[in-house]
Structure 1
Amino acid sequence: MAHLHRHRRHLSQHDDSAAIFSPSVARIAASTARDWSYVDSWLASTFPPGRSVPSFERNPDTLKALLALAAANESADEERQLLARADAAALKQLEHHGRRREAPGPEGHGHGLRPGLLRSDLLTAIEHALPKEGRNALNSLANLAVQAGTTFPEPEDLGRNITNLQGSVFEMEQMIARVESLQRHIQREADQAAELLQDLQSDRYRPPSDLAKQNLDLQRKTKALSVHLPELQQRATACGASVDPPHPTIEGLAREEHDFLALLARKKELHVQMAAFDGLPSDPDMARGELDALRRQLQAFTSRRDAMFEGLVERESPVKRRR
């Protein structure tokens, strides 16, 4: 048993030494040490001079988070540097073009940049720097402004013009549909007339035997209608005059409003007058009987009042002295 125990202890010591001196473990430890060294140097450069890095827990999760943060910070710094270089290069190029196209001053001393050329170069540079989608959008906006005849296009004005244009297009489509329908009807009538004309001009056509009688009937009807024509014209004129205009006017609306307010006032007056008859039944005979009863009651009250007044006068008047 003691020999077995010593053998197990020897194996465990051998495994520990193998774990410590394993090449893979050594590489991982060296890589971790390099990562921590990089993180420490990055943190030291991030904080201002004279201020130490605060203490924190050092574990694999913290190392992973700090490495990701450092990588993101470096990529952001690189993007800012690239943008700054691009801006500086564009500005230098614009200045170069401006100096190359500069015009002499009025007295020949010195040179100055012409604002028109600088503005044109700037707009050209912006247009060339636009992506494909931006260039297409700019061209569409310019074409729309030209077609709308707007010097300084605004989104609201362009939207209003587009809406009006859509309304006009819809109206034109409706008109075209009506015209096409009328054209089909006329074409159908023309075909029927052509067929009738062809039948009349053919050798097989024979006029009806009562054609003369039909002509006389038509002439008689024409004369009868011509007699009633002035009366019909007068009726049509009267109907046209009595018809209200299709579109209301401000004066008409004001007049109708005045009439409506007058009707409302009259309605209120009638309601006040009818309020006195609220307690009466709906049957006219019963209402008349109840009204007569109320009148008799009123007469009784009036007679009683008069009698009381006469008694009061007699009691308060002085007694006539006997002679």
Structure 2
Amino acid sequence: MAHLDHAAIFSPSVARIAASTAKDWSFVDTWLASKFPGRAAPSFERNPDTLRVLLSLATLNETADEERQLFARAEASARRELSQAADRGADHASMQSDLLEAIEEALPQDGRNALDALASLSVDLGNPQPTPHELGVTLVQLQAQAQETEERRARLTDLQSHVDAEKIAIADLLRDLQGWKFKPSAELPRQNVELQRKIKALSNKLPELEDRLKAIDTAPAAFHPTIDQIAREESAYRSLLNRKMDLDSQIAPFAGLPHDADAARDQLEALRSELQSLTRRRDAVFESLVERESPRKRS
């Protein structure tokens, strides 16, 4: 304790702090010596700040070393367990292989053929562990796909036949058009000139037609009646029609009269006189019939 001052010797609290500091420096020196085996540690200033930093670093380093050791032990344990599991799996696989070989040797020839067929089918389907249901469903699906493929092939064959026939017809037409027998119509130049004249005339009329179209666009919109309005108009029309029929029935008896009122009046008087004459004749005839048919009075 020669490096301690007199206050540290005679003060218990200072003495405890000094002892704790010396213990910390001893821990740091030991840790540095373990990190630099066989050679001296780098020189540095020994003060409280350096001590605090080195203590934190040493603590973190020891914690990291402990975690690394734990990871190493866990990894070694996992490797041992995996190795044991692999050994057990190898033993199980070997036993399973022996059992399968024994079953295969005990099968009859038909059973072996069926087993080989199932194995080949499983390989073709890419399913290492199929069930009979899965194999049946897959076979049905494959059969449906094969049928659909066959139908498509037949349709494509028909389409190819039509395409080939059209190709031959087009080739024949092209050969005829390119041959010396094909000649354009003599009326073709005149028709061309006529078409150009019509096009020019229509082009000249185009501004006028555009003006008409603009005038139509700017014209007031046409009246579009509603259903209620149409119903009201129809009802009014029917009323007028009934009134006309009424008047026609009233005028019908006077249809044969002249248009002049005096002449019509004279004709009406003549008809009335004729009616009266006919009425008198009817009455006379009736009276004569009554007298003739009635019994004669006894004299």
Do they fold alike, i.e. is TM over 0.5? no
Q: Which has the larger radius of gyration?
A: 2
TM (normalized to structure 2)? Answer: 0.32
TM (normalized to structure 1)? Answer: 0.30
